[in-house]
Structure 1
Amino acid sequence: MVILSEKLVPYFLGVHHLTRDEAIDHNTAYSTVFFGQTVPIIWDGTYFYINKSSDHSFQRASYSGQKHRHLLKFMSMCLPDGYCLDIRGPFYGNKNDASISDYIVSTKKELEGWCENDDVMICDRGFRDVVDVFSELGYEPKMPVYLKKGQNQHTTKEANESRLVTKVRWVVESFHARLKKFRLLSERIDNQLVPKLEQCVRITAAALSKYRGAIVQNKNSEEDKKMFLVM
């Protein structure tokens, strides 16, 4: 595990393992048309179930009121073709996506140094509390539009803006599905392995990047280009 963490992970995981030009190459036909030649980063949280701990403080912190189970969370940052740029964690089960993202952005300087102004941060509605943080750092947050109070349905413009996000964001869910196919991570994690969970998750994510590659293939196919020309 130590050797994999030293020899595999730094080359296939982490913000700085790709240059910006390499990251832009992971854009799809959709993300290029929707957001231009920027670096869109898709944020989403995932979780791994653990056993109930005998440590009272850890037991309370790891309990998720949403899932009604004990778990630890990780935050994934994927590129538009499903390639994992980075994954951070673990975080306690009682933390939500917005507070985790706020923590990452405020404490991880490598993200601030690698991203440029107007880079797009794509997320779901659970990140509404961190949208202002992204904006203050010069990024452009994108998430599905909320219905306003007293509004029964979205306007055409709001619905289309939401579709731009969902059309690109689904790949992070597919990445999480890949990640959880590994037997160690697909079952409830024994608490003795919790101290090594971060290493296991990062090694698995790096191995997926190296050996499985991107989720969206033929991402700049001629059919996609023709479709946009017709539009």
Structure 2
Amino acid sequence: MHKHRPFVKPMMVVTTSGYVVSVLGPYLADSKNNNAGILNHMIRNNTEEMRDWLQDGDTFIVDRGFRDSSEMLGDIGINMEMPCFMQRGTSQHTTQEASHLRLITKVRWVVESANARLKRWKYLNHVIPNTQIPFIGDYIRIVGALCNRFTSALSSGNEEEDQATALKMLHLSKRKNELQEFVESNGSGLSNRTYSEQKIDAAGFAQDFPKLSDSEIHQLTLGVNQPVCDATFRITSICAKWPGSVHDSRIWRESALCQKFENGEYNGFLLGDSGYPCKRYLMTPFLNPSTVPKQKFNAALCKTRVIVEQTFGILKRRFSCLQGVLRTTPRQATKYIVACAILHNTGIDQGDIVESTQVQFYGGNNNYNNALTGDGFNMHNYIVDTYFTCVK
């Protein structure tokens, strides 16, 4: 079942609308049970009375793993279409071959989409224990039946619109390579000509080229993903537009929340890990705690900051789309993440996730005001000296 450790695999037949017609198996995933071998076995033994619902002239859209089933399907009047192979001695497909390959891939995408629907059930998206192997086929049939009954068709559902789309795809698949014809018809050496780079005057040359502001470029190229939560698991701020390569400190430095803390608009403390800078309002662990009080400070900070990790866990349990890869554009992904955070807070308001927890902050001495006016290290030392030096 699992892509990286395929011990067994089912075989599923779907229509162009995504309707699951049949689920066979599971079969042992070894050299004897390749895709073509499984399909040939299904046809030869008329599994689930397959030949009764197959009609002469039907077409199977398959991948290259079914190439050895062509003869058997042909014997019962079934056409088979699959991506073509590159001819021996060639380095690329011809225009006709490439167009045919794209056409088959566009039609066959429905199979992958149907498989993705099945994997929305977390159980089928993870490694399954060996003890469950006898029941895998039944599980997939049940999930397939639920998908057939309660999910919409993968096609538009409008017969005329589907036919128009099919005709357009067929038309595009038969188009000639106009660029190739242009190169071949404009000089015998044009196809092999080298190129050189030179500066050109863009004035009047790229008038229709899109113009983007700095903020628009920022939004397009950088995505947000830095939530801040309180002790009740409520997300009080979220930034979900940055790619994973950007350091946490930079995301924080350029966030609106950071500016508000810097300007004194907010009063309080934030807890962060060692990836963030130490500020008078942002407490981070000591990198090399050399004394017992500093070690106790680090331990207390980590125990308190675990709330944010627990919040991540709650989000992922509540919204399964956050557990894996979001199969959408980066811009849409940021909207999904923010929407999940809003719904998460709504759940807390309705008492649907966790109960609120009261957190008490113990008062200190007059040195607290002095620490507020200093840098983060002053506040660090103040807290350690006040609350952890005498802790047994």
- TM-score range for the pair, normalised by the shorter chain length: 0.5 to 0.7
Query: Which has the larger displacement, 200-209 or 107-116?
Result: 107-116
What's the CA shift for 1:89?
0.8
CA 1:138–1:86: 2 relative to 1, 3 Å: same
CA distance in structure 1 between the partners assigned to 2:14 and 2:155 by the alignment: 12
CA distance in 2 between partners of 1:229 and 1:182 (Å): 35
Aligned residue pairs total 167
User: Aligned to 1:81, what secondary structure does the other structure show?
Assistant: coil
**Which of the numbers 28, 32, 43 marks the counterpart of 1:92?**
28
Identify the residue that residue 212 of structure 1 maps to in structure 2. Answer: 151
Q: Which of the two has greater strand per residue?
A: 1
Pick from 111, 114, 126: which aligns with 1:187? 126
Q: What is the TM-score when the length of structure 2 is the normalising length?
A: 0.40
Report which structure shows greater RCO (CA 8 Å, sep ≥6). 1
Q: 1:136 to 1:216 in 2, by over 3 A?
A: same
Q: Any gaps of 5 or more consecutive residues in structure 1?
A: 1-47, 50-66
Aligned equivalents of 1:229 and 1:72: distance in 2?
39
Q: Which is further off, 220-229 or 87-96?
A: 220-229
2:71 is equivalent to residue 122 of structure 1: no
Which of 102, 105, 113 does residue 52 from structure 2 map onto? Answer: 113
Aligned match for 2:13, one of 50, 66, 77: 77
How far does residue 141 in structure 1 lie from its aligned partner after superposition? 0.6
Taking a change above 3 Å as real, the CA distance of residues 68 and 197 of structure 1, as seen in their structure-2 partners, is closer
Confirm whether residue 133 of structure 1 aligns to residue 72 of structure 2: yes
Distance 1:227 1:132 in 2: 27
Contact 1:81 1:219 in 2 (8 A): no
Q: How much does 1:201 deviate? A: 0.9
Matches within 5 A, 1:99-178: 99-108=37-46, 110-178=49-117
* 1:133 partner SS: helix
| 1:25-60 C-alpha deviation (Å, 9 max, x unpaired) | xxxxxxxxxxxxxxxxxxxxxxx13xxxxxxxxxxx
8 A Cα contact 1:78 1:84, kept in partner: yes
SS in 1 for 2:24: strand
Deviations 1:38-83 (A, max 9, x none): xxxxxxxxxx13xxxxxxxxxxxxxxxxx66252101111111211
Deviation track 1:89-125 (CA, whole Å, cap 9, x = no partner) reads: 1000112111111111111252212212211011011
Secondary structure of the equivalent of 1:69? Answer: coil
Q: What is the one-letter code of the residue matched to 1:160?
A: S
Unaligned stretches of 5+ residues in structure 2: 172-392
- Counterpart CA distance in 2 for 1:129 and 1:227 is 27
Against the structure 1 CA distance between its residues 200 and 229, is the aligned structure 2 distance closer, same or farther, given a 3 Å change threshold? closer
Change (3 A) 1:226 1:154: closer
For the aligned residue pairs, the C-alpha RMSD in angstroms reads 2.4
- What one-letter code is carried by the residue in structure 2 that aligns with 1:114? W
Q: What per-residue deviation string (whole Å, max 9, x for no partner) do you get for residues 191-231 of structure 1? A: 22211111111111111100113222345465973894795
Distance 1:138 1:132 in 2: 10
Which residue of the partner structure matches residue 10 of structure 1? none
TM-score, scaled to structure 1: 0.65
What SS does the corresponding residue of 2:156 show, helix, strand or coil?
coil
Distance 1:223 1:79, change over 3 A: closer
Is the contact made by 1:77 and 1:84 (CA closer than 8 Å) also made in structure 2? Answer: yes
Q: Would you identify which runs of 4 or more consecutive aligned residues in structure 1 move more than 4 Å?
A: 221-224, 226-231
Distance verdict in 2 for CA 1:200–1:226, change over 3 Å: closer
Distance 1:220 1:113, change over 3 A: closer
What one-letter code is carried by the residue in structure 1 that aligns with 2:27? Answer: F
Q: Which has the larger radius of gyration?
A: 2
